[in-house]
Amino acid sequence: MEIQDLAWIRRYLTCLNVERGLSINTRRSYERDLKKLHLFLNAKTKTLRNCEGNDLFLFLLDEKKQGRSARTLARYLATIRGLFSFLLIERLRSDDPTEYLTTPKLEQNLPYVLSEKVMDKLLDSSPKPDIGEKSSQEQIEESTKGESTKEETKNLVLELRDRAILEVLYSCGLRVSELTGLTLKDLSLENAYLRCRGKGNKERIVPLGEPAVQAIQNYLQEARGRLLGKKSSNLLFLNFRGGGLTRQGVWEILKKWAKKHGIKENVYPHLMRHSFATHMLDHGADLRSVQEMLGHVDISTTQIYTHVSRQHLIEVFRKAHPRAD
């Protein structure tokens, strides 16, 4: 029966992949959740065919006792509901044991964002050369003449890449998986936009700001070829071995950049996305446009940033208005 359960899970995931075009990361998340349920049921000599609503309730209760958040429990339940709905449609079961299970109430945690002042410091804090000191591009060119060490050249190349990554993340509000999946064909620097593939492999066009365009051009002209070496790749951003960047790799890049430039805040890829959306709304962008640029299917997902923006206005009022208190 254990083999049958795993076969059903694989069949369900394949169906999701075909119908909804799940990303690899989303599919892996679903698979982890369902295998965890499978192991729980197996320990109680239960299967997907004969388990009941109470068994699923006990699974969620067990996960809650292990410290899982309400959001994680809600994700588990959504995944489990999807599975049993599929089994019912496929007539592998005659009932749906999730019918009377309720979704945990979620607190609406507002996303943390960087202030515009801190963001400016993060993006404009590249060490300025002293009088007579050469730019990064000039230093890289001189390295080919033996005037810099290999380590110095590597650091200069990576700095150009990392700056381009930060500029693109903030300029476009991309998810980290969208950033790492960008290819050279996705760029249209002359028209100042890029094409990315989001959740469900859906494509969208996102504008690029002038600083991002310039940072990408510098990276392409002076750094990418040196990272690529003798390898071949269509990916835009590369690691120092010439391969594609991972999500963890981008996370490490932002951590090092922030620390190097004296930013005390915890900087991570999705924070750039949160900050992009909030700052756009602060400066008058309409919600629908921000939804389109973020690639949100449901505008209610985008609306959370209006609460952050509103909270910012309240804080400004309390600090500035003489009768705020």
Query: Residue 153 — pLDDT band, cuts 50, 70, 90?
Result: confident
Nearest to 137 by CA among 223, 69, 52: 223
Nearest to 174 by CA among 230, 99, 100, 247: 247
Catalytic residue among 247, 255, 270, 312: 270
The CATH class that applies to domain 2-89 reads: mainly alpha
CA dist., res. 254 & res. 265, Å (int): 11
CA dist., res. 61 & res. 67, Å (int): 10
Per DSSP, what are the bridge partners of residue 188? 193
Query: Residue 261 — pLDDT band, cuts 50, 70, 90?
Result: confident
Tell me if 209 sits within 8 A of 171, measured CB to CB.
yes
Tell me if 294 sits within 8 A of 173, measured CB to CB.
yes
Mean pLDDT computed over 254-283: 91
- Those residues whose C-beta lies under 8 Å from the C-beta of residue 305, and which sit 6 or more positions away, are 111, 274, 277, 278, 281, 290
Catalytic residue among 38, 163, 197, 296: 296
**In which residue ranges of the chain is CATH 1.10.150 found?**
2-89
Tell me if 27 sits within 8 A of 13, measured CB to CB.
yes
Catalytic residue among 38, 273, 274, 279: 273
Report strand pairing: 203-207 vs 187-188. unpaired
**In which residue ranges of the chain is CATH 1.10.443.10 found?**
116-320
pLDDT at 148 over 70: no
Structure tokens at 298: 């449901």
Q: Full-prediction pTM beyond 0.85? A: no
Is 112 known to be catalytic?
no
Mean pLDDT computed over 190-201: 88
Is 312 known to be catalytic?
no
Mean pLDDT computed over 298-315: 71
Is 279 known to be catalytic?
no
Catalytic residue among 199, 255, 261, 312: 199
Instruction: Tell the CATH topology of 116-320.
Output: hpI Integrase; Chain A (1.10.443)
Tell me if 203 sits within 8 A of 197, measured CB to CB.
yes
Is 321 known to be catalytic?
no
Catalytic residue among 38, 46, 175, 197: 175
| E strand or H helix at 103 | none
Is 247 known to be catalytic?
no
Is 199 known to be catalytic?
yes
pLDDT tens digits, one per residue of 262-275: 898 999 999 999 99
